[in-house]
Homo-oligomer: A and B are copies of this chain.
Amino acid sequence: MDKTFLNLFARRGLSLDRLRVLLEIADAGGIAKAVGKDPVRQSQYSRQLKELEEYFGVELTRRDGKSLVLTRAGQQLADIIRQNFLGLADFATACAHEPAIFHLGAGDSLIHWKVLPHIGAFQKVFPAIIMSIRNLQTAQIIDALHSLRLDFGIMRRNAIPSVFKSVSLGKMEYALFVPKQLLPGSSGKTCEWVMNNVPMVAMDSSGEFARKLDEMMRRSRIKMNIRLECESFPAACHAIQSGCYAGILPTMAATDLPEDKFVRIEAPLFKRLSREIALAWNPRIMRLRSASVEIASWFGKNL
Q: Which A residues fall within an 8 A CB radius of B?
A: 1-2, 4-5, 7-9, 14-17, 20, 23-24, 27, 56-58, 73, 76-77, 80, 83-85, 87-89, 91-93, 95-96, 98, 101, 103, 132, 134, 144, 149, 283-284, 287
Q: In the complex the two chains form, is B91's CB within 8 Å of A56's CB?
A: yes
Residues of B within 8 A of A80 (CB): 87-88, 91
Q: In the complex the two chains form, is B84's CB within 8 Å of A8's CB?
A: no
Q: In the complex the two chains form, is A7's CB within 8 Å of B56's CB?
A: no
Q: In the complex the two chains form, is A89's CB within 8 Å of B4's CB?
A: no
Q: In the complex the two chains form, is A57's CB within 8 Å of B4's CB?
A: no
Which residue of the partner chain, among B84, B95, B284, contacts A73 with CB atoms under 8 Å? Answer: B95
A-B contact pairs, 18 of them (CB 8 A): A1-B149, A2-B103, A5-B20, A7-B93, A8-B85, A9-B16, A9-B20, A15-B15, A15-B16, A16-B16, A56-B91, A56-B92, A58-B95, A73-B91, A76-B91, A77-B91, A80-B87, A83-B87
Residues of B within 8 A of A58 (CB): 95
Which residue of the partner chain, among B24, B27, B83, B89, contacts A8 with CB atoms under 8 Å? Answer: B89
Within the complex, the shortest CB–CB distance from A11 to chain B, in Å, comes to: 9
> Chain B: which residue is nearest A149 at the CB level?
B1
Residue from A23, A80, A149 whose CB has the most chain B CB atoms within 10 Å: A80
Residues of B within 8 A of A56 (CB): 91-92, 95-96
Residues of B within 8 A of A95 (CB): 56-58, 73
Residues of B within 8 A of A17 (CB): 9
Q: In the complex the two chains form, is B96's CB within 8 Å of A57's CB?
A: yes
> Chain B: which residue is nearest A150 at the CB level?
B1
Which residue of the partner chain, among B4, B96, B284, contacts A24 with CB atoms under 8 Å? Answer: B4
Measured in the bound complex, the distance between the Cα atoms of B287 and A84 in whole Å is 13
Measured in the bound complex, the distance between the Cα atoms of B283 and A84 in whole Å is 17
Residue from A73, A88, A149 whose CB has the most chain B CB atoms within 10 Å: A88
Within the complex, the shortest CB–CB distance from A254 to chain B, in Å, comes to: 33
Q: In the complex the two chains form, is A23's CB within 8 Å of B4's CB?
A: yes
Residue from A5, A27, A134 whose CB has the most chain B CB atoms within 10 Å: A5
Measured in the bound complex, the distance between the Cα atoms of B12 and A15 in whole Å is 13
Measured in the bound complex, the distance between the Cα atoms of B5 and A92 in whole Å is 11
Measured in the bound complex, the distance between the Cα atoms of B149 and A16 in whole Å is 23
Q: In the complex the two chains form, is B103's CB within 8 Å of A1's CB?
A: yes
Measured in the bound complex, the distance between the Cα atoms of B275 and A208 in whole Å is 55
Measured in the bound complex, the distance between the Cα atoms of B95 and A73 in whole Å is 8
Measured in the bound complex, the distance between the Cα atoms of B84 and A29 in whole Å is 24
Q: In the complex the two chains form, is A4's CB within 8 Å of B20's CB?
A: yes
Residues of B within 8 A of A24 (CB): 4
Within the complex, the shortest CB–CB distance from A284 to chain B, in Å, comes to: 5
